[in-house]
Amino acid sequence: MGRLSSVLPVAPIAILGGGVAGLCAARLLHAARVPFVLLEARDRLGGRVLTVDATGAPADNGFDLGASWFWPRTQPRLAALVAELGLSAFVQLTDGDVLFERMVREGPQRYHGGPQQALSFRLAGGSAALVRALAAGLPRERLRLRTAVTGMQLEDNGVTLMLAAQGDASSSPERITVSHVIAALPPRLLGATVTFAPTLDADTLAAWHDVPTWMAPHAKFFALYDRPFWREAGLSGTAQSMVGPLAEIHDATTASGQAALLGFVGVGAEQRAAVGDMVLTRACEEQLRRLFGDEARRPQATLLKDWAADPFTATPADRVPGGHPAGGDRRWVTGLWERHLTLGGSEVSPLEPGYLAGAVLAAERAASAAIAAIQERRGT
């Protein structure tokens, strides 16, 4: 799937973003027989869902550099979708002791791991299994990669979108006109990368900017091994540290048995950029040695994903952690744009904002709102 072609059929609804929210919205529109076009700036679908192999390449079975877990007991709509799509899930391993590192000179403290109240699950094959299953049921000609929306202009007959092909400097800007737009993007990213004519009111732009983008300030580090040796020592692979650079560590072994530890980097985005990936990787390996022993210092491979450096996820405002998005029932779009633009990214979900479950719920609301808006304008 490449850049948008001049023969694209006219669609009443455009979806901006090919992550879980955008794909769920597309699935609902397709089921309702409402034509759509989905525009994704990346060269892949999934957004902040990214499953890779040991080399860092996208893979059907691997390690989740982005969204990893879901909680069926407290996220029933997502659990129902996983079941509906026929996907397999497995419980995140927490059996065994946990480690806590308060300061280097003390060494790690070991504690007996207690029972987990709300069991977290991962998808067999990685979270990208959800992306593949959602995309498989959609018309391929309606899914366009490497196509960024740079501007929107309100017209008498709808919304004209200004498009830019990514990775093709010789291409000319293109335009399409649709009746309605579902922006399945973080509000802050939408406001920072898309221009609007007429301009959005200042209160709306400020509200979008104030919504933290989930994952945007963070980085994840993986160390891959030939076997989960920590389990042999009665450890769960879970650790917390006040020393760093990893603040929180978990067993990331896949359902197929590929052994790994993952850690959330506790170093800020500016400092990560200053020290560089190589220095940060060496510091992470040394920390794993302190916690899990000498064997942890010799991984077969390492992976590092800094979401703050991802231009399709983060803006400069995201380089400083701003907490978790609050979501909620509110008017995310006001004024002239209200009847033509619906926000549908996970951050605007009234429940579980920022999580995979929030993406599913936000997409359902956005698809329903877009269909209702079109029917209203048609007088049906």
- Per-residue pLDDT tens for 176-229? 999 999 999 999 999 999 999 999 999 999 999 999 999 999 999 999 999 999
In single-letter form, the type of residue at position 245 comes to P
Average pLDDT, the chain: 93
> Which fold, 13-48+131-214+322-378?
FAD/NAD(P)-binding domain (3.50.50)
Using the predicted structure, report yes or no on whether residue 374 has a pLDDT greater than 80: yes
Which pLDDT does position 4 carry in this prediction? 42
Q: What is the DSSP letter of 81?
A: H
Residue 10 reports pLDDT greater than 60:
no
65 has a pLDDT exceeding 90: yes
The answer, as to whether pTM is greater than 0.75, is: yes
Checking if the pLDDT of 117 tops 50, the result is: yes
Between CA 10 and CA 186 the distance in angstroms is 26
pLDDT of res. 205: 94
- Asked if the model's pLDDT at residue 6 lies above 70, the reply is no
Q: In terms of residues, how long is the chain?
A: 380
Please state, in angstroms and rounded to a whole number, the distance separating the CA atoms of residues 157 and 175: 14
Contacts of 197 (CB under 8 A, 6+ apart): 151, 152, 153, 154
Q: How many CA atoms lie less than 13 Å away from 29 in the CB half-sphere? A: 31
- The predicted pLDDT at position 167 comes to 77
Residue 143, strand partner residues: 38
Q: Output 362 or 106, whichever has higher pLDDT.
A: 362
Q: Is 13 helix (H, G, I), strand (E, B) or coil?
A: strand
Is the pLDDT assigned to residue 9 strictly greater than 60?
A: no
Mean pLDDT value of segment 316-334: 86
For the chain, domain boundaries: 13-48+131-214+322-378, 56-73+91-124+217-309
pLDDT of residue 141: 94
Proportion of the chain in helix, strand, coil states, percent, rounded to 5:
30, 25, 45
pLDDT at 230: 97
Better-scored residue on pLDDT, 1 or 157: 157
* Mean pLDDT, rounded, for 97-125: 87
Closest CA to 265 of 233, 218, 298, 232: 218
Beta strand 109-111 with 143-144 is: unpaired
Taking 50 as the threshold, does the pLDDT of residue 2 lie above it? no
What pLDDT, on the 0 to 100 scale, is given for residue 115? 65
Look at residue 241 and tell me whether its pLDDT is greater than 70.
yes
- Check whether 165 has a pLDDT greater than 50: yes
β-bridge pairing 235-241 and 97-101: parallel
- pLDDT tens digits along 267-291: 999 999 999 999 999 999 999 999 9
Fold of domain 56-73+91-124+217-309: Polyamine Oxidase; Chain A, domain 2 (3.90.660)
Instruction: Give 99's Cβ-side CA count (13 Å radius).
Output: 30
Mean pLDDT of 127-142: 97
Q: What does the pLDDT read at residue 354?
A: 94
Write down the residue that tokens 């929030």 correspond to.
358
CB 259 within 8 A of CB 226: yes
221: helix, coil or strand? strand
Say what the pLDDT of residue 324 is: 85
The answer, yes or no, to whether residue 116 has pLDDT greater than 70, is no
**Which pLDDT band holds residue 376 (cuts at 50, 70, 90)?**
confident
Q: Using an 8 Å Cβ cutoff, are 51 and 58 in contact?
A: yes
Residue 154 in this model has a pLDDT that exceeds 80: yes
pLDDT at 5: 40
Q: Residue 106: pLDDT band by 50, 70, 90 thresholds?
A: confident
At 254, give phi and psi (nearest 5°).
-80, 170
DSSP string, 156-190: TTEEEEEEEETT-TTPPPEEEEESEEEE-S-HHHH
Is the model more confident about 10 or about 143?
143
pLDDT in tens, 122-134: 999 999 999 999 9
